[in-house]
Amino acid sequence: MSISTNELKNGMALNLPEGLMTVVEFQHVKPGKGGAFVRTKLKNVRTGAVVEKTFRSDEKVGFAQIDKREMQFLYRESDDYVFMDNVTYDQIQVSPVQLGDAINYLRESDTVVLPMYGDEILGVDLPASVDLEVTDTEPGLQGDRVSGARKSATLETGLTVQVPLFVEIGERIKVDTRSGEYLARA
């Protein structure tokens, strides 16, 4: 299926010879001389690389339908992660490579959105922050109130983050899924 470059919108997925791309930004340009064109900034869905590409006005480009499915993380089977579609109840196995950094924030029974192109999983759409339990950290020293002092804490998913000295084992903390940083107590 193809669409005209005049119909481009931010976030739209395109199937181009360079690979599967999403439109980051676009601009229609009508110079005084010559034909109109569309200047775009595209992000490769698989590699994350951003490229700039120019198309003639009304040029046809391949449109890619990306299906966003809500799925529940059930359990790990050897290295793979098993998810269940919340609508059809079908189960699929996903390799850690396809999930990327999201494995640091996934707990059993969590619900996430998996964007899919055909049968290929293109990553994971996580919430902006998640609540995780601290499983290991050094005890905070009584009276040590140095402003901004931090210590390492290991969370239930195996992720290690820097937390304030007052955070103890067993507490739940809010972690930013984009940067991997401590936000607050949950």
Q: Categorise residue 98: left if φ over 0, alpha if ψ from -120 to 50, beta otherwise.
A: alpha
Give the pLDDT of residue 125.
84
Take residue 138 and report the two structure tokens written for it: 């050094």
Average pLDDT over residues 117-143: 81
Residue 96 has pLDDT above 80, yes or no: yes
| Burial bucket for residue 63 (CB in 10 Å: 0-12, 13-18, 19+) | middle
Average pLDDT over residues 31-44: 89
Which pLDDT tens digit goes with each residue over 101-123? 888 888 888 888 888 888 888 88
Which pLDDT tens digit goes with each residue over 72-90? 989 888 888 899 988 888 8
The answer on 143 and 109 residing in a single domain is: no
Give the pLDDT of residue 39.
92
The answer on 92 and 72 residing in a single domain is: yes
Q: CA-CA distances (angstroms) from residue 55 to 4, 10, 18, 27?
A: 10, 15, 14, 10
User: Chain-wide mean pLDDT for the chain?
Assistant: 85
Q: What's 18's domain CATH number?
A: 2.30.30.30
Q: What's 166's domain CATH number?
A: 2.40.50.140
Give the pLDDT of residue 105.
87
Residue 25 to residue 131: CA distance in whole angstroms: 33
The answer on 58 and 12 residing in a single domain is: yes
Identify the domain containing residue 58 by its residue range. Answer: 2-62
Take residue 62 and report the two structure tokens written for it: 């391949």
The answer on 75 and 53 residing in a single domain is: no
The answer on 55 and 7 residing in a single domain is: yes
Give the pLDDT of residue 5.
84
The answer on 114 and 142 residing in a single domain is: no
More confident residue, 62 or 185: 62
The answer on 25 and 11 residing in a single domain is: yes
Give the pLDDT of residue 41.
93
Gap between the terminal Cα atoms of the chain? 46
How far is C-alpha 86 from the chain's CA centre?
19
Which pLDDT tens digit goes with each residue over 157-180? 888 888 888 888 888 989 988 888
The answer on 42 and 17 residing in a single domain is: yes
3-state secondary structure 75-127: EEECCEEEEEECCCCCEEEECHHHHHHHHHCCCCCCEEEEEEECCEECCCECC
Average pLDDT over residues 52-66: 88
The answer on 53 and 17 residing in a single domain is: yes
Last residue of a domain, one of 62, 78, 100: 62
The answer on 45 and 6 residing in a single domain is: yes
The answer on 114 and 141 residing in a single domain is: no
Give the pLDDT of residue 142.
59
pTM score, two decimals? Answer: 0.71
High-pLDDT (> 90) share of the chain, %:
8
Give the count of domains, the chain: 3
Give the pLDDT of residue 163.
86
Give the pLDDT of residue 52.
92
The answer on 141 and 105 residing in a single domain is: no
* Cβ–Cβ under 8 Å, residues 115 and 68: yes
Q: What is the DSSP letter of 7?
A: G
Residue 141 has pLDDT above 80, yes or no: no
